[in-house]
Chain A
Amino acid sequence: MSDSKDLSRRHFLGLAGKAGLATVAARAIGVNLGLVEILSAQTGKGAVTPFSFAIITDSHLFSIPDHKFDKSLADAVAQVNALTPAVDFVMYTGDIAQNGKEDQLVKGKKIMSALKAPLKVIPGEHDWYLDMGKAWNGLFGKETWSFDHKGVHFIGLNSILVRDFWTGAGLTAEQRMSTMEMLESPIAGPWGVREAQLDFLEKDVKKLPANTPVVIFTHSPLWDYYPRWNFQTEDAPQIRQILAKFDHVTSLHGHVHQTVFNQIGNLSSAGALSTSWPWPYPPVQLAYPGSQMTQSDPANTKDGMGSQVISFDASAAGLVQYEPFANSLTPWLKAGVKV
């Protein structure tokens, strides 16, 4: 997926600095950037070739055969495969499994193997704490990564790392996992990406020019939405600080099982619909109350769930369009969420 051709284009434009200079230089050396690239370069932002990708997340698969959540994930896969135009890739932002079991992760990978587009994945706490990511890493590779695609820099981090609460308490692996499964459990404490990933992030973006559009994926939000349910990432302030040099950063996350939007400084955040169940909105006043979807009908097993597609236009403006299984969207959401 890493597109060295686009990477070199972006670096070229970045080094040129001014968009006009880039255009002139491109013409002077006979590089055919194409109309789209030239137009976007003239906006002063990084050059982006318009594209879209999808997010599927939080499937919480159980080991039980033919569980209703298996079908729900398959429905999301079919929904994404049917998108027109087709997406360039699919991002999964964590919690494939419910209890961290390998068979649950394998089942999720198998269901998502029907995706037409390539899949990128980061873990959620439900994937991780039975074996501390061993099965997940074996199936999906490294949990920390970055790549460039059509002028946008994408970063994936593991945001569900907690301090060791199990060794001192003498907990078994199963007890550790079940502690993490409970959303409002106070035992595990706040999640974060921790020092090693902060170092990775700092090095990863060090040479990127400020006009590079950046998208960062984490399981949990990069703002203090509702820390009691870990609708937060403890070291999000450091992440935001590292990314502060960019003109604009888009944070896309799972975990909250709901539509939600927020803006802090240069960072826009949007949550994602799950394929399992919708969480209630926590008792906080949203800065963008229109981003709250309609109340879910418990008698409709598909209400409040779905997938989402994110598109970037040539001016690097991002738009999140939620694709609910049922009618869950307010007019504000139906118009698409600018990120």
Chain B
Amino acid sequence: MKLNTKTMKLSLGAAGIAVGVFGAMSLSARPPFTDAQLAQQQQDLLEVVNKGRDEWHGSNPQMSSNGLACGNCHPDAAASNPNTFPKFVPQLNAVAPMREMINWCIVHPQDGKALDPNGPDMIALEAYAVYLYRGEKLQPGYTLPEPPIAVKSGVGFPAKPSGIGVDK
């Protein structure tokens, strides 16, 4: 019975993947999109950003063994500077994308296990940081220390200004 259930789940999973692949292939990537399509795309993005916000603040136990999360040193993704990557990262002695810097922070200050650089958790973390930096100009490489951004209301924050910050 267990085997059957497992087999059935595997079959259903495979079918789901197949539907997903064909479904994705059937989507047109050419504008104009309908309002409904745009709304769906935005909702999908914000869901990933929201997942990234939670992981940035400690929801993924893989990322830390000492209790520290990204948000401890980078509130509002401050000083994470996603708009400056790829750049030479001294800790890695190489030009690297942001995801490798995130993994460095996970492994060293947070004493956790590195994420799959192409996995959904890393995509979510990047999406969160980049979303907060939306509108900032791209500035690859180290220049002067980048001042943190003044965060507008965004995912995870009230649609209306909180009344306690610069987003008034």
Bound together, the chains give a CA A203 to CA B162 distance in angstroms of: 34
Residue A301 at the chain B interface, CB threshold 8 Å? yes
Main secondary structure of the interface of B (DSSP, over half): loop
- Identify which of B75, B151, B158, B164 contacts A279 (C-beta below 8 A): B75
Contact status A98-B164, CB under 8 Å: no
Contact status A277-B147, CB under 8 Å: no
Query: Closest Cβ of chain A: how far from B142's Cβ, in Å?
Result: 10
- Identify which of A68, A186, A282, A295 contacts B78 (C-beta below 8 A): A282
Contact status B108-A280, CB under 8 Å: no
With a CB–CB cut-off of 8 A, which chain B residues contact A232?
A: 164
CB 8 Å contact bits of B53-86 with A (1 = contact, 0 = none): 0000100000000111001111110110000000
Contact status A280-B166, CB under 8 Å: no
Q: Which of chain A's residues 71-129 have a Cβ closer than 8 Å to chain B?
A: 98
Bound together, the chains give a CA A228 to CA B77 distance in angstroms of: 13
With a CB–CB cut-off of 8 A, which chain B residues contact A283?
A: 78, 147-150, 166
Query: Closest Cβ of chain B: how far from A209's Cβ, in Å?
Result: 37
Residue B5 at the chain A interface, CB threshold 8 Å? no
Contact status B151-A184, CB under 8 Å: yes
Select from chain B the residue with minimum beta-carbon distance to A295.
Answer: B145
Contact status A280-B79, CB under 8 Å: yes
With a CB–CB cut-off of 8 A, which chain A residues contact B166?
A: 226-228, 283-284
Q: Which of chain B's residues 116-149 have a Cβ closer than 8 Å to chain A?
A: 145, 147-149
Contact status A227-B148, CB under 8 Å: no
Main secondary structure of the interface of A (DSSP, over half): loop
CB 8 Å contact bits of B99-120 with A (1 = contact, 0 = none): 0000001001100000000000
CB 8 Å contact bits of A219-231 with B (1 = contact, 0 = none): 0000000111110
With a CB–CB cut-off of 8 A, which chain A residues contact B32?
A: none
Residue B163 at the chain A interface, CB threshold 8 Å? yes
Contact status A228-B109, CB under 8 Å: no
Residue B157 at the chain A interface, CB threshold 8 Å? yes
With a CB–CB cut-off of 8 A, which chain B residues contact A326?
A: none
Residue A190 at the chain B interface, CB threshold 8 Å? yes
With a CB–CB cut-off of 8 A, which chain B residues contact A62?
A: 66-67
Contact status A228-B76, CB under 8 Å: yes
Contact status A228-B71, CB under 8 Å: no
Select from chain A the residue with minimum beta-carbon distance to B111.
Answer: A68
Bound together, the chains give a CA A279 to CA B167 distance in angstroms of: 20
With a CB–CB cut-off of 8 A, which chain B residues contact A282?
A: 78, 148
Bound together, the chains give a CA A229 to CA B72 distance in angstroms of: 12
Residue B165 at the chain A interface, CB threshold 8 Å? yes
Contact status B75-A98, CB under 8 Å: no
Residue A298 at the chain B interface, CB threshold 8 Å? yes
Contact status A186-B158, CB under 8 Å: yes
Contact status A277-B148, CB under 8 Å: no
- Identify which of A64, A183, A280 contacts B67 (C-beta below 8 A): A64
Contact status B73-A278, CB under 8 Å: yes
Bound together, the chains give a CA A282 to CA B105 distance in angstroms of: 21
Query: Closest Cβ of chain A: how far from B38's Cβ, in Å?
Result: 27
Contact status A298-B165, CB under 8 Å: no
- Identify which of B67, B72, B108, B148 contacts A281 (C-beta below 8 A): B148
With a CB–CB cut-off of 8 A, which chain A residues contact B66?
A: 62, 64, 67-68
With a CB–CB cut-off of 8 A, which chain B residues contact A280?
A: 73-75, 78-79, 148
Contact status B163-A184, CB under 8 Å: no
Residue B91 at the chain A interface, CB threshold 8 Å? yes
Residue A189 at the chain B interface, CB threshold 8 Å? yes
Q: Which of chain A's residues 141-196 have a Cβ closer than 8 Å to chain B?
A: 182-184, 186, 189-190
With a CB–CB cut-off of 8 A, which chain A residues contact B57?
A: 182
Bound together, the chains give a CA A248 to CA B45 distance in angstroms of: 53
Contact status B71-A182, CB under 8 Å: yes
Contact status A189-B109, CB under 8 Å: no
Residue A299 at the chain B interface, CB threshold 8 Å? yes
Using CB atoms and an 8 Å cutoff, list the residues of chain B in contact with chain A: 57, 66-68, 71-76, 78-79, 90-91, 105, 108-109, 145, 147-151, 157-158, 162-167
The 3 closest A-B pairs by CB, nearest first: A228-B165, A186-B162, A280-B79
Q: A182-B71, A184-B71, A298-B91 are in contact. List 15 more A-B contacts (CB 8 A).
A: A64-B67, A67-B66, A68-B66, A183-B75, A184-B75, A184-B76, A186-B164, A189-B164, A226-B166, A227-B166, A229-B76, A281-B147, A282-B148, A283-B78, A299-B108
Using CB atoms and an 8 Å cutoff, list the residues of chain A in contact with chain B: 62, 64, 67-68, 98, 182-184, 186, 189-190, 226-230, 232, 277-284, 295, 298-299, 301
